[in-house]
Amino acid sequence: MKKNIAVIRGDGIGPEIVNEALKVLDKVAKKYGHEFNYVDADMGGCAIDKYGDPLPQHELDKCLAADSVLLGAVGGPKWDGVPGNMRPEKGLLRIRAGMGVYSNNRPAKIWKQLADASPLKPEIVEKGIDFIIVRELIGGIYFGEHKTYEEGEKISEDVMKYSESEIERIGRIGFETARKRRKKLCSVEKSNVLDTSRLWKSVMHRLAAEYPDVELSDMLVDNCAMQIVKNPAQFDVIVTENMFGDILSDEASMITGSIGMIPSSSLGATSNGLYEPIHGSAPDIAGQNKANPIGTILSAAMMLRFSFDMPKEADDIENAVSKVLDMGYRTGDIMSEGMKLTGCSEMGTLIADAI
């Protein structure tokens, strides 16, 4: 099978971790007779340096023309002084909107080999951490009106807005995801305060009638943040709006031991998805061969599974990661006593060789 993949290497450690993911994809292609063609696209700080824009239209067009997009990381202190509408992160918002990827799916799963790395008590970890946060990605306060003005003093406003149709389409993703797992869906909002959350809750309960096999529960976002730490085993699938999902998914990643291990997928109405690790560009270790490429490698596995309908190939990558961890190899962020410290490039090679 032939697939065209737009590759956004990005900033900081982005190029290093993407290189290792491509190394693994090349091994999969060789084993199964696929052809993966890579088209480089610039986004983030590197695009600002090159074009004066965090995501020029011609670079977005490359992504829209591809079968899917693999992204490393963008941003860094080098670009802290640029105007707000030109920051590297604006490229992320623009590509999500441009590709129409309204559903971000981020697994929170602890690998048995890294159980000791979780900050949670062992008795909590033993119960299991294996849930997915389905986050609405192109609506809400991040995409609402933003303005700052003066009325005797500076005043800023950021508008959170959701329509029934926006809630319904992400709600269906939540229900369908739960249907493929343990059939439990927790809808997270702030309906005791926000009108948008009251609409969210009403739409979710209307949809529940179409999914009688899925158990729907409601939880306020502040309680959910506490429960993720107190008893993560209670969750199967969490569905929530953009800002809440941003915060909760970052929290969930930390209880698994390292953000370097967590992939994510962003999908919309087509199979052209955006796949990226959840961590940032880590400029403090860029170019030092210290980064953990596993989150990016697992993101590539998600791309094979959800966009290319290659479940066996995705399984091979995930099994290879597990094998390498069983062998005791660790990058610095997941290093523990008695393990073998390895660099970014060697980790990618070990995983590719294990396929």
Q: What beta strand segments (E) does 83-199 contain?
A: 103-109, 130-136, 146-150, 154-158, 184-189
Active site includes 222?
A: yes
Give the whole-angstrom CA distance, residue 41 versus residue 177.
Answer: 30
Contact 239, 216 (CB under 8 A): no
Active site includes 246?
A: yes
List b or e across 291-309, with b for residues whose CB sees 16 or more CB atoms inside 10 angstroms.
bbbbbbbbbbbbbbbbbbe
339 C-beta neighbours (distance < 10 Å), count? 15
Structure tokens at 307: 């966009």
Structure tokens at 92: 């992320």
Active-site hit among 102, 142, 275, 329:
142
Q: Which amino acid is at 251?
A: E
List the one residue out of 235, 170, 228 whose CA is nearest residue 204: 170
Active site includes 142?
A: yes
Active-site hit among 49, 116, 158, 222:
222
Structure tokens at 168: 């319904």
DSSP string over 134-164: EEE-SSGGGSS-EEEEESSSEEEEE-----H
Active-site hit among 246, 290, 316, 333:
246
Contact 178, 236 (CB under 8 A): yes
Active-site hit among 184, 218, 250, 323:
250
11 C-beta neighbours (distance < 10 Å), count? 27
Active-site hit among 183, 190, 201, 323:
190
Contact 174, 187 (CB under 8 A): yes
Active site includes 190?
A: yes
Residues with catalytic function = 142, 190, 222, 246, 250
